[in-house]
Chains A and B, each alone.
Chain A
């Protein structure tokens, strides 16, 4: 079973969110979670994934900064990049959506089915 599931990394500074995400999607994806962008970058240098889900507002490095950095580190990656945030998709986020740094945006609180559909799309 585990081999068929898409590999996914979820980055959020809120541990409860990480826990909830993992519990919610453990049957759908091979979920790996990190509590900061730095740790996620470290992980991604060692591992490949199919999907990246990240929060925007995090200490030290925001979600968009993390994705930008990732593009520098791994320019040829085929990751699907999705943001989940308590903010609305305006300004830099909508720009990121426009220039394909970000493929999708889901606002918090997420609904299981909605987020799953977007992730699998």
Chain B
């Protein structure tokens, strides 16, 4: 029990009970309060009664909790037990009661509030009505005021009228008197009237004079009218004149503009004519070229036939000669041997100066040369034949792209490693109508020419082959970076047998043949060449699907 404490709380410190609890800090203590209001917190609460008798309350729950006993003596000494549970329940009950009371009050308040709002709106309504009524009252007041005013006016008017009446009566009286005076005056005046008639006559005369003046004025007006009419005519004439001037001005302007238009049109026509002339010149030169080619074609065809016959003599002849010589040759060899053995040809009487062996060798060489010559001639004539081929052959569909590929394939051995071929075959339509094989031949000749041009420079080069198509044409462009063509030579490149190559390297027919073929396909060739830069051949051919 040494740790147990007894704490007495003076009534003045009842408010600091919580602080005391903290101080106790859970230690067992007997807390005695004096006149503390909240019975829930008490252990033993001392209460002063009215009879000056000490009473105390003991919290049963706390007592039981702490295992304390309340002796009957203590109760007899004036104490009473407080059951906190009961107290709690009682307070809870009263709280619920209060809450329900509050709720009831709240609903009451709500309904009251509503009523207030209602009456407020009613009041507002009534106020509005009141205002309108006030307004009405105001207006009525105003009318009443106005009426009062008018009444006063009327009253004053009446007074005024009465005054006037009085005045009137007085003036009437005065007038009666005046009348009498007047009557007298009239008599006086009738006398004067006679004098007046004379005056009237006078005035009549005056009027007449004025009439004359008026007549004069009228005459003046007539004159003025005539003058006015004259002036109107002049104005009309003026208007007419200005209209004529305007019209002629417009006409002049129009003529000027027309002239200007005419001049510009003339200029345009002139330009067009110049262009046409240039085109005509180009066409003419093309025509001359094609005419030249056509006549050359006919000529070469004839020549080809003749040469073929003549060369047949040589070619067949040399074959026969060669055969015949083969027959004789052993005899000659024998003779040679006999001559060598005997030192003389004996009875055969061969010139001692003749070297039979040498002659035999010569003959062999000559036969060979003649065969080569005849074969070369045959090749030339074959080329000429291609150049001058007639148009009797049937035309078929030809794909230019395919023919280009064929030409490149055939030229492959000449192209490889040295020349870079760049292809850009962009034409969407590449089908033309023509002679099978021929177009390929022509393209091959062009490309072959480009290869030769590059080889002449002894360095590697490139050939760009591109195509593009328009609505009715395909354009094939073959562009090399070879030696180029001298301008003086350019006009002759299509002439048969014209060549700048070494003897035996070209027949001079490649481009002629190509030209002939393109011509036969109704195509056009143009060439751009810059010396030491290269040459571009552009071949335009009409497409098949457009006629």
Contact = CB atoms under 8 A, between A and B. Distances in A.
A112 B317 CA distance: 10
A90 B308 contact: no
Contact of B315 (A21, A85, A91, A109): A109
Interface in B339-397: 374, 378, 385, 389-390, 392-393
Contacts of B393: 90-91, 94
A42 to B, nearest CB: 24
Contact of A88 (B309, B311, B385): B385
Contacts of B313: 14, 16-17, 20
Interface in A69-105: 85-88, 90-92, 94
B312 A23 contact: no
Contacts of A111: 315, 319
B454 interface: no
A68 to B, nearest CB: 17
Interface of A: 14, 16-17, 20-21, 23-24, 57, 85-88, 90-92, 94, 107-112
Q: Is the interface of B mostly helix, strand, loop or mixed?
A: helix
Interface stretch (B278-286, B299-307, B421-429, B509-517): B299-307
A111 B371 CA distance: 11
B411 interface: no
Given A20-B317, A109-B312, A110-B312, 10 more contacts: A16-B313, A17-B312, A23-B320, A24-B316, A90-B389, A90-B390, A90-B392, A91-B392, A92-B392, A94-B392
Among A14, A86, A87, A110, the most chain B Cβ lie within 10 Å of the Cβ of A86
A108 B393 CA distance: 20
A45 B119 CA distance: 152
B316 A20 contact: yes
In this complex, which of A14, A21, A86, A109 has the most chain B Cβ atoms within 10 angstroms of its Cβ? A109
A91 B390 contact: yes
A26 to B, nearest CB: 10
A31 to B, nearest CB: 13
A61 B389 CA distance: 23
19 contacts: A14-B313, A16-B317, A17-B312, A20-B316, A20-B317, A20-B320, A24-B316, A24-B319, A87-B304, A88-B389, A90-B393, A94-B392, A108-B309, A108-B311, A108-B312, A109-B311, A109-B312, A109-B316, A110-B316
B259 to A, nearest CB: 63
Interface residues of B, number: 23
Contact of A57 (B305, B317, B390): B305
A17 B385 CA distance: 21
Nearest to B385: A88
B520 to A, nearest CB: 12
Nearest to A91: B392
A90 B306 CA distance: 17
Contacts of B316: 17, 20-21, 24, 109-110, 112
Contacts of B525: none
A83 to B, nearest CB: 13
Contact of B309 (A86, A90, A92, A112): A86
A20 B307 CA distance: 16
A107 B382 CA distance: 10
A33 B67 CA distance: 169
Contacts of B317: 16, 20
Contacts of A87: 301, 304-305, 308, 385
Contacts of A23: 320
B312 A20 contact: yes
B390 A108 contact: no
A107 B319 CA distance: 16
3 closest cross-chain pairs (CB), A and B: A86-B308, A91-B392, A109-B315
Given A21-B316, A112-B319, A86 B307 contact: yes
Contacts of A92: 392
Contacts of B378: 109
Interface string B475-499: 0000000000000000000000000
B320 A86 contact: no
A91 B390 CA distance: 8
A65 B392 CA distance: 18
B107 to A, nearest CB: 125
Contacts of A20: 312-313, 316-317, 320
Contact of B374 (A21, A94, A109): A109
Contact of B314 (A86, A91, A109): A109
Interface string B119-131: 0000000000000
Nearest to B303: A86
Contacts of A17: 309, 312-313, 316
Contacts of A108: 308-309, 311-312
Nearest to A13: B309
A14 B309 contact: yes
Contacts of A21: 316
